Amino acid sequence: MKQSKFNFATVFSLMVLLAFSYIAFMGLVYWREGDVLLPAAITVAFIAIVIVCIIVMCRSKATRWRRIGTIGQAVFGAVILVAFIAAAIPFTNFMDVLAKQKRFSTEIDNMLESATQLDEQYQQYVERRISDYKDMLTLVSNGRSIRPTEYQELLGNVRGSSDRQKIEKLAESLRLKLVPDSMSEVQEERLDWIGSASSKSVWNISLPRNIAAINEQVSHWENIYAGYSDFRFKGETAEPFYSEDFESDLQSLTNKYTRLHAPSLLAIAIALLCFFIMLLPYWMTERDVAGRTSKGVSVYE
């Protein structure tokens, strides 16, 4: 019966250790923005420390292994306690992520939707800008006799049988500058990327990497379109393209989980509970007595 209880306590404590370790691991993954190598190494080290300490405590209690007394066992127990309290820091980090998972999902949806509609917004910007440019040139044409110097600078050297033809020709030249042939390739690349970044489950270890990529890609896309729209013909006063739809709290949410902070009271309470559960195999181990060990009797018999 003692052996059966010991085995159950060992299996149960191991399951609790793995569950706690996985949540702490996820907190480390978010801290590292999707990098899994360092979090995996830290998690494996944590599990190894706890298991080794428990084994040493149980063996020393059962057989006075290496003559580690009660004080030595308490020291190893303290090591386990410190390890769990330290692990409560990344544990808290992932708990914070879980608490904000709806906000993450909403912000990602909004960002991806805005990215999908970016071409339409830019096309509207192009049409508006060409319309403003044509209106400006029309005013210059109508004021030809009043401001001949300005007319000469903007329309005088343009080939065309009429000012209207010249204006249309300049408008088409502006369109080609604002919408170059390379834009279609950029659009296809972006739409393909959006399709691959659709997963929004906070339990997916690729999500923090996707969030970091979204923040990076948003700036990249805006810079591309701003670069296209930065061109100006003489006389234009237009501002480069900018999409307000890309403004979100996603970056501020990212900043919160990439900065570890003190563990919450709930995380500490869970860590302490797991610590006591990890001691179950130690408590279930029958203590050695001098008479039994001198006769070589096994403590588990």
pLDDT, one tens digit per residue, over 173-186 is 888 888 887 777 77
* Residue (of 46, 34, 21, 28) closest to 90 by Cα position: 28
pLDDT category at 290 given cuts 50, 70, 90 is very low
Per-residue pLDDT for 301 more than 50? Answer: no
Neighbour-count burial of 236, counting CB atoms closer than 10 A to its CB (0-12 exposed, 13-18 middle, 19+ buried): middle
Most confident of the following: 200-204, 237-241, 262-266, 281-285: 262-266
Is the separation of the CB atoms in 202 and 98 below 8 Å? yes
Q: Which residue has the tokens 């008479």?
A: 291
- Read off the pTM: 0.71
* Residue (of 119, 108, 120) closest to 197 by Cα position: 108
Is the separation of the CB atoms in 62 and 287 below 8 Å? yes
pLDDT of 198 = 61
Pinpoint the alpha helices (H) of 64-100: 70-99
Taking each continuous run of H as one helix and of E as one strand, the counts in the chain are 13, 0
pLDDT category at 298 given cuts 50, 70, 90 is very low
Least confident window among 120-124, 263-267, 296-300: 296-300
* Residue (of 280, 281, 276, 296) closest to 59 by Cα position: 281
Is the separation of the CB atoms in 256 and 94 below 8 Å? no
Is the separation of the CB atoms in 7 and 280 below 8 Å? no
Q: Which residue has the tokens 């600078």?
A: 153
More confident residue, 84 or 147: 84
Q: How many CA atoms lie within 13 A of 268 on its CB side?
A: 6
Q: What percent of the chain has pLDDT over 70?
A: 87
Least confident window among 77-81, 127-131, 219-223: 219-223
pLDDT in tens, 160-177: 778 888 888 888 888 888
Q: Mean per-residue pLDDT for 231-243?
A: 83
Cα distance between residue 61 and residue 17, in whole Å:
21
pLDDT of 200 = 66
pLDDT category at 245 given cuts 50, 70, 90 is low
pLDDT category at 1 given cuts 50, 70, 90 is low
**How many Cβ atoms sit within 10 Å of the Cβ of residue 1?**
5
In Å, what is the CA distance from 201 to each residue of 25, 26, 101, 102, 157? Answer: 16, 12, 8, 10, 60
pLDDT in tens, 33-80: 889 999 999 999 999 999 999 998 888 877 766 567 778 889 999 999
Residue 87 tokens, joined: 């692990």
